[in-house]
Structure 1
Amino acid sequence: MAEYDFDLFTIGAGSGGVRASRVAAAHGARVAVAEEYRVGGTCVIRGCVPKKMLVYGSMFAEELGHADNYGWTIEGKSFDWAALRNFVNADVDRLEGLYGKTLASHEVEVFAERATITGPHGVKLASGREVSAKYILVATGGWPAMPDFPGAEHCISSNEVFHLEEQPKCLMVVGGGYIAMEFAGIFNALGSEVTVVNRTDRILRSYDEQIVERMLHIAMGRGIDFKMHSQIQSVEKLDDGCLSVDLGGANPVKVDQVLIATGRKPNSAGLGLENAGIELGEGGEIPVDEYNRTSCESIYAVGDVTDRVQLTPVAIREGHAFADTVFGENPRTIDYTAIPSAVFSQPPLAGVGLTEAQAREQYGNIKVYSSDFRPMKNIFSPHAERGLYKMIVEATSEKVLGVHMIGPESPEILQVAAVAVKAGLTKQAFDDTVALHPSMAEELVLLK
């Protein structure tokens, strides 16, 4: 008989956990996964996938607003939030099914219940069953961080926003990160009155300041109200169902809904890690080494629960590297430099590599090339919004250190630029490339 019930027991069936389990099984391991909610994790179930679909739905509203300039006459147009919400959630169901089929096709046993760690090789399921595993992988992701103030129970997080019964006519979004900016843009485009509350005067801190300033200017032009240096003191639910929000001023703000989007924290509470001698970091993160191993030799962790880089593609790569290292006899680590990222605001912004401020701090002598232009598509729109592309290079070699942009389809364009940054190409390589005209992407090879 085998010494353990499984070679690998994964806690959490999100992007990282599913990839690790599938690859480990392909290497011949006997694998089980426990997931207390739904297979697919944050990204598929309550994050980037359904949110991007809401972005598409809201962008259609913008197109309808100036359809006449395209020659279209659309009579009796109206928006039904429930129809969009239900379509998005139905596709989430479809994707969850595909993830389940992927695990099943690799003969991974799935336990639809919570699991906790009882020791270096022990796991206890919520049903009471205890199993053993040679290795345990924690891939429980992150969870919305909710502030503590009177009336916080009346607010929602990004988990609940996908299931709202009605579209809020007046929405307050609390936070200055990408989740806050994306939902503010979605509901603003759909016609809601949106107010963003942020405790500082900076939003999207990890992105290039000039690009963020452009986004802020455009968002304000579209009607989003920003209240900087503000914090909620309390929230009171009124008899009519609306919320009265005290921001510390003379007059409270009345809204239909308050969305808290102040960040996410590692979802590590109550996992029993202490039973294996694993101590959490100050933010609740699980410390791991370059091979994703914790302080306990038989327990590993990947994804947002480690709080390294909170991005789905990173969790997937970490999960794959773990499986190859432990079960594939191919030790692999992850390179966390030049990871592209985007904010699906309206318009979206994206970046890879060093921002201008970071490059000046690290290199001192740099050059900045840019293109400030009005995308051809925006000519049809009443909004005179301009795109902005920036390239940061080391002054002497002109090696590209970072590329940052805002404008229609920026994330789609940035992905290819990220290859160039990762490869260490120079500005000359862009200059030597013939432009694809007419396109927005051609601005990358025409930067001055």
Structure 2
Amino acid sequence: MKQYENVKESGAEWLGKVPTHWPLKKLKHTVELNSNECADEGITFKVALENIESGTGKHIPTEVPGFEGIGNTFQADDVLFSKLRPYLAKVLHPKTSGIAVGEILVLTPNKELYDSRFLFYQLLSSAFISVVDSSTYGSKMPRASWSFIKELQLPVPPLSEQRIIANFLDRKTEKLEKLLTHKQDLLDLLQRKRQAFINEAVTEGLNSLAPRKSSGVEWLGELPAHWEVRRLKTVSQFITSGSRGWAEYYSDEGSIFLRIGNLSSSSIDLKLHNLQRVTPPSGSEGERTRVQPNDLLISITALLGAVGVVPQVIEEAYVNQHIALVRLNQDIVHPRWVAYFLSSPVGKHQFKTLTNGGTKEGLTLGDITSLVLPYPSYEEQCSIVDYIETRVRNIDKAASAILAQIETLKAYRQALISEVVTGKVDVRTSAAASSSAPKSMPQQLGLFE
């Protein structure tokens, strides 16, 4: 992209060089912090942190407001900035007036100096977010202070140029958002296909012409005639759950402590990239909750019914109280067969049934022992698992490629915004705007296919 010919040092390391004709002004001299507190009665448009999408500035509507009480009023064209966990980049440019609840700064730009859309993009830029995030205090709930933010010097181009830049970014981010939506739709389609063929495999087997019979379970329907139906307890050696109160044993090193976050609703493989460590207590209580390869793990509180299989190779690991640990009799049942069935749409149905349609909080170990599953021969279980995993690998490979494209586009969007609003590239002419990278990059990625 074209660069500005004349630049100067900004005096701020995070900002670098800026165009010579862009004056630098402290934020406190260009915006007003709005502290007009108001009760939320009668105000229909309410914004909390959960209503702002990270990194995009999109408003996420909620059917039922999840907050009440006192907030700060804002007007259309104010800019809302979350000072809590600023690395999440939660910035909103509202199109109507309302009330902001929570740790949200309401900023009203000086209209003689700032176009509100340009200010929105400036505060959303990765350069600004990084410097604000570097100032945070509080380890568990890091937040930035207005006393720091207001002293930051930002480049303030002429208003006419701000509008050109804002129009440019509106167009380009809209195009990128359409591409991202398209890719997310493809991911959703792949997930539906994945679930559909798993569901078919675990209820019909590999021979669709085999004679069928009623399973005797209403929600399960018909199964191949030579299959049985078993309760989980009949194919298990033991079923338990993790101990309570292990937070006191948390440590930076030690054994893995498996939590619900290590389970997934879309895969039976554990997520082992974000691990809590513990130094477990000695004795039988610790040994009871220690996992072995091929153990089945089931979420019994949040993310109800998420299922995972402990891999063949894993460090010493234990489960917390929100996970049921099922040690299967591997002479008669394949752990991944059980996991694939329980995580299939038909298998998940019984979790909903056991919680009375979601009105009951959590599952008991009694619920887990009573889980129903189809029971073909061990050899047929192995064949079905092999078939499923061959198909899953192909789908997951395609999904991984799409996810990589999505992450590339998101990173590019952030970089584009930052480059433009800090004056690293010049988009003032229509020729520059039409020939810039946002058009060619998605084509290089194959995103128009």
Sort the TM-score into its range (normalised by shorter chain): under 0.3
Greater helix percent: which structure? 2
Structure possessing the higher radius of gyration over alpha carbons: 2
Task: Compute the TM-score of the two structures, normalised by the length of structure 1.
Answer: 0.21
Task: Compute the TM-score of the two structures, normalised by the length of structure 2.
Answer: 0.21
